[in-house]
Chain A
Amino acid sequence: MGRAVLHRAVAAVILFLVISFLVFSLLALAPGSLETTLLGARPATPELIAAIRAEYHLDDPFLVQYLRWLGGAVQLDFGRSIVSGAPVLAIVSERLLVSVQLAVLALVFAAVLAIPAGMMAAAAKGRARDRMATFTSVLAMSAPPFVVGTLLIYLFGVYWSVLPVYGAGTEGFDRFRHLILPAVSLGLGLGAIIFRQTRAAALDVLDQDFITFARARGLSRTRVAVTYALRNVALPIVASLGLVLIVALPGAVLIEVVFSIPGFGSMMVEAVGAKDVPVVQGLALFSAVYVVAVTILVDMASAAVDPRLRRAEAR
């Protein structure tokens, strides 16, 4: 276990370094010279250009610039926005809360719907219920979140006018009401992934002898499904949660744009549109940390769920 964790940690650090280097290179990849990118909409006077060159140390070699930027980023200093001049960290943290709320709601919706549905579909393999559920999951996977979101806006916002479709509301219950449609739009696609993983895993488990034996002893279907099968299905579900949490990130970007929610994702799109490279870099690096953290957490959760993995040696 100890070696496996160390192995993972080293891999995570390497992954983070590779991504951070690519993220820093974004500035150089943007069309036009570095100065024009960093100037943004400000007038290009010689003094201002000189000030920019000094502020961003553009006369240093690329690698030195990268290390200086990385040193700042590790201390949560991502520089300043070109557009507003505010520190990137302040802007990001201001808009993070609503994104986290959205993600949690979407995930709860997806898991509550998909895990029982997946167990049910596996138990009724090949029958009408299973085929309906599987077909629905294909539809949910094929419908990108922004399409689902747009259709839900039309149905619930325009056609029936029962739920708010714009913005994130204030706080408490109003916030919750505003996040229902976005969370459902985002959760459907995530739920489809969880459903397919649960169904596949449950199909494997339900074929096992101990399930047949438990049924033969006269235990009820529900009891067998919940106490015997679900424990064994938990591992693939936890593993699929990692994929879901990572897919949720770009999904949230689209959903926040559709519903005009002032969160992390819509900010990413605004920053890309405004060519605000320092903000894009900060957001991208933040996403990288999130992805690496999710991967590690899923490994740890897998070990917690399945005692067999705890004894497995480092791969």
Chain B
Amino acid sequence: MSIPMDTSTAARSTRWRRSLPPVSVIVAILIAAVFIVVAFFGDLIAPLDPDLQNLLMGATAPSADHLLGTDHLGRDVFSRVIVATGPALAGPFVVALTTVVLGASLGLIAGFRGGRIDTIISRAADLIWSLPGLLVAIVVIGVIQGGIWLTVVVVAFLSIPNAIRQTRSATLSQAGLPYVAAATTLGLSNARVMFRHVLPNVRATVLATGMLDFVNAILIFAALAFLRIGVVPGESNWGLMLAEGQSLIWTNPAVIVAPALAIVAVAASITIIGDWAYDRASAEGER
């Protein structure tokens, strides 16, 4: 009688170990959490007014008054980096959300229905996916001279194909399983089988894809801001700070080093979490 008990505890302990992420992932989650808090409460956390200029002072090196020094207009760099966190994450978050909702739906439909619908959706996704996204964004947003909303729309449009491809292949691996046939035999509508039965089984893939799309969007937004495309001059923005701070590299390197590290830290931590979620999702798919 003790044997089943032993196996059950053993199973539980391996499951527990599997669910406990590795150290790098825990660190990444902590870093991402800090960024999310700063994104929401940046205005309260920032020690000084990020837009307050002091032209007499100009660019200065880090000091007790200004932790990361000041930029060419005498504005506090530390406060600007903090206040820029919210805008740096908000646009990409909308992109990721749109991408997940539209991409997952289209991917589900393509993978589940197959046939001509699949061909049309997949071909369109392949076409968009083959474009160099950032270049398209530079040209379209630069020529139309759009702002943040056009950027969101264009970047979402360019990100959706990846979500479609990932969801579609995850759906294909589910479509042949008995539970799908069973649900169909019960007379459930296609939509109900797709969204109530298949979607919960591919949701890990969808979420992991969404996180990587989020990172990708953060990097594209930063790159566009660095090229001064789709941004308002003078706003607190990591990419723009990097561009405007190029000439201050001798007087106060923190002007460019701080936003640069912020971009890398947030992108790397979310990538690590997304990779981990993706590995778990594919491991679960195999079981």
Contact = CB atoms under 8 A, between A and B. Distances in A.
Interface of A: 15, 18-19, 26, 29-31, 131, 135, 138-139, 141-144, 146-147, 150-151, 153-154, 157-158, 246-247, 249-251, 253-254, 257-258, 268-269, 272-273, 275, 277, 280, 284, 287, 291, 295
Given A253-B135, A291-B131, A30 B268 contact: no
Contact of A142 (B131, B135, B143, B267): B267
A218 B132 CA distance: 46
Contacts of A247: 132
Per CB-CB distance, the 8 closest pairs between chain A and chain B, nearest first, are A272-B142, A250-B134, A142-B267, A142-B268, A250-B135, A147-B260, A143-B264, A249-B132
A138 B275 contact: yes
Contact of A250 (B133, B143, B257): B133
A144 B249 contact: no
Given A158-B253, A250-B135, A138 B263 contact: no
Contact of B138 (A139, A151, A253, A295): A253
Contacts of A246: 130, 132
A272 B139 contact: yes
A141 B263 CA distance: 12
A141 B267 CA distance: 9
A243 to B, nearest CB: 9
Given A142-B268, A143-B264, A250 B253 contact: no
A202 B82 CA distance: 42
Interface string B215-228: 10001001100111
Interface in B139-168: 139-140, 142-145
Contacts of B88: none
- Where chain A touches its partner, the secondary structure class is helix
Contacts of A153: 249
Given A29-B144, A147-B263, A158-B250, A295 B130 contact: yes
Given A15-B127, A146-B242, A138 B272 contact: yes
A286 to B, nearest CB: 11
A18 B264 CA distance: 35
A94 B134 CA distance: 24
B253 A144 contact: no
Contacts of A144: 219, 222-223, 226, 263, 267
Contact of B134 (A31, A253, A295): A253
B268 A139 contact: yes
B67 to A, nearest CB: 18
Interface residues of B, number: 39
Contacts of B139: 26, 268, 272, 280, 284
B91 to A, nearest CB: 16
B135 A272 contact: no
Nearest to A250: B134
Contacts of A254: 134, 223, 226-227
A152 B250 CA distance: 14
A257 B132 CA distance: 18
Contacts of B253: 154, 158
A30 to B, nearest CB: 5
Interface centre among B133, B222, B227, B246 (most CB of A within 10 A): B227
Contact of B246 (A142, A150, A284): A150
A151 B267 contact: no
Interface centre among A30, A157, A251, A272 (most CB of B within 10 A): A272
28 contacts: A15-B127, A15-B130, A26-B139, A26-B140, A29-B143, A29-B144, A30-B145, A135-B24, A138-B272, A139-B268, A142-B219, A142-B271, A146-B242, A150-B242, A150-B256, A150-B260, A154-B253, A154-B257, A249-B132, A250-B135, A254-B226, A268-B135, A269-B142, A272-B229, A280-B142, A280-B143, A287-B135, A291-B131
Interface in B109-132: 127, 130-132
Given A138-B268, A147-B260, A250 B132 contact: yes
Given A131-B24, A157-B249, A268-B135, 10 more contacts: A29-B140, A30-B144, A135-B24, A138-B275, A143-B268, A158-B249, A250-B138, A254-B134, A280-B143, A284-B139
Interface centre among B127, B223, B239, B257 (most CB of A within 10 A): B223
B264 A142 contact: yes
Contacts of B242: 146-147, 150
B254 to A, nearest CB: 10
B61 to A, nearest CB: 13
Nearest to B144: A29
A146 B132 contact: no
A26 B146 CA distance: 13
B271 to A, nearest CB: 5
B226 A275 contact: no
A280 B132 CA distance: 15
